Amino acid sequence: MKTAKTHVWDFVPHQHQGPARQTGRDDHIRSPKKHNGAFRARGLATFMGAPYCPPDRHAIRKMGAKVCFIAAPWDQGQIVRAGTSQGASGVREASTQYFPYMFEYDVDLLTFFRVVDCGDIPTVPGNNKKSQDYIYKYVTECLAGGAKVILCGGDHSLPIPGARALSHFTRAGKIGYLHVDAHLDAGPDWAGNKITNCSGATRALELPNCGPSNMAHMGSRNSLNPKDWWDFYVDNDIRVIPMNEVVDRGIDACAREIFELAWRGTDAVYFSWDTDSIDIACMPGSTSPECYGLKGREAIRLARIAGEFGADVLDLVELAPTFDVSQMSVRLAVNVIYHYLGSRAATLRSQGLKP
């Protein structure tokens, strides 16, 4: 990265750094001019080829970043099979196979949002609380730096510190909480442990500025959903759109309903997206994959609708590359993020706004 005073964000994307380095300012959105270009020499693996930025609010402001990618290689809140600690690494790897330019929206995501990669959040094996405190601090620094957050897990205990960070950062303002998942994740605890991947919604409702009228769940199905999880939503009158309703009504109507609900009278929204909400045929690389889920086209459609509404924090969790097939899961995960950002960029431009 150059440090010229006129443009502190100039850099050469990592996927163009190799035996034949691409050095042109726009080379990351156009076909490589030299052999061994974008799809051959990975270089240092950051998400989307973005420059690294320390997770510090002052550094984020100095770089003018409007989107921070953070990795949470955390797998100790898991109640099913392990492997999701490698999720963000898989997303970074898969992103080297794509250009940051998206013709569907005619936008260069990298420069429009000035995306930065803030690296991996430290984890402390055997200490859930301390590890989640680190997650809380990283998310807080990115928000305080004026950026939106893409938080890549990691297991689905991630929204516990993630939503807490957004709640405290928003202070007096209300927040909405969206949960897209094959599972309801509303356990008050799991054998006495309150920091697990099945307790995100329960912990969110405990936040002082997150109420049931601005919470919603979509995508639940099958029998890894105990009755007490279902009772949580019923007792608190929280909107649930199970997968059979998505099939009947369509992804557009259901997705718009939950985002409208989350943003109604709130100042910020936390959007937690579990990869197992996507059908096992399209997303085998998840820690608890389920059949009868969103197809690939529906997942991208949801991402595009999410981009229209926006979210302060989007977490993508439970991605487990060790169970993947031909990189289909990590590539779909990357495209979910890219289409979310592309749609967000198109929406902002249509309103004459900047990120």
Write out pLDDT tens, residues 22-36.
Answer: 667 777 777 766 654
Tell me the pLDDT tens digit for each residue of 119-176: 999 888 888 889 999 999 999 999 999 999 999 989 999 999 999 999 999 987 999 9
Give Cβ neighbours of residue 21 (< 8 Å, ≥ 6 apart): 12, 34
CA dist 281 → 153, 277, 296, 325 (Å): 21, 11, 9, 10
**How is residue 128 written in tokens?**
């859930």
Three-state DSSP class for residue 85: helix
Three-state DSSP class for residue 169: helix
Four-point Cα dihedral 34, 39, 41, 44, nearest 10: 130
Q: How far apart are CA 76 and CA 124, in angstroms?
A: 10
Q: Is the torsion defined by CA of 254, 280, 237, 271 positive or negative?
A: negative
Residue 231 CB neighbour total at 10 angstroms: 12
Question: Do 143 and 184 contact (CB within 8 A), yes or no?
Answer: no
Percent of the chain with pLDDT over 70: 90
Residue 2 CB neighbour total at 10 angstroms: 10
The helix (run of H) or strand (run of E) holding residue 48 is none
Of the listed ranges 75-89, 111-125, 154-168, 316-330, the least confidently predicted one is 75-89
**How is residue 117 written in tokens?**
């990669």
Q: How far apart are CA 171 and CA 314, in angstroms?
A: 19
Residue 306 CB neighbour total at 10 angstroms: 24
Whether the predicted pLDDT of 42 surpasses 70: no
pLDDT at position 37 is 47
pLDDT at position 194 is 84
Q: How far apart are CA 61 and CA 187, in angstroms?
A: 38
Domain 45-350 has CATH 2.30.300.10: no
Rg (CA), the chain: 19
The helix (run of H) or strand (run of E) holding residue 153 is strand 148-153
Helices (H), ranges, the chain: 57-63, 87-95, 109-112, 128-144, 159-170, 200-205, 227-235, 243-249, 251-263, 296-309, 328-350
In the predicted model, what is the mean pLDDT of residues 267-282?
Answer: 98
Beta-bridge partners for 178: 216, 271
pLDDT at position 21 is 56
Whether the predicted pLDDT of 11 surpasses 90: no
Residue 45 CB neighbour total at 10 angstroms: 15
Whether the predicted pLDDT of 17 surpasses 50: no
The domain locations on the chain are 45-350
User: Strand pairing of 215-218 and 239-241?
Assistant: parallel
In the predicted model, what is the mean pLDDT of residues 79-107?
Answer: 92
Question: Do 210 and 233 contact (CB within 8 A), yes or no?
Answer: no
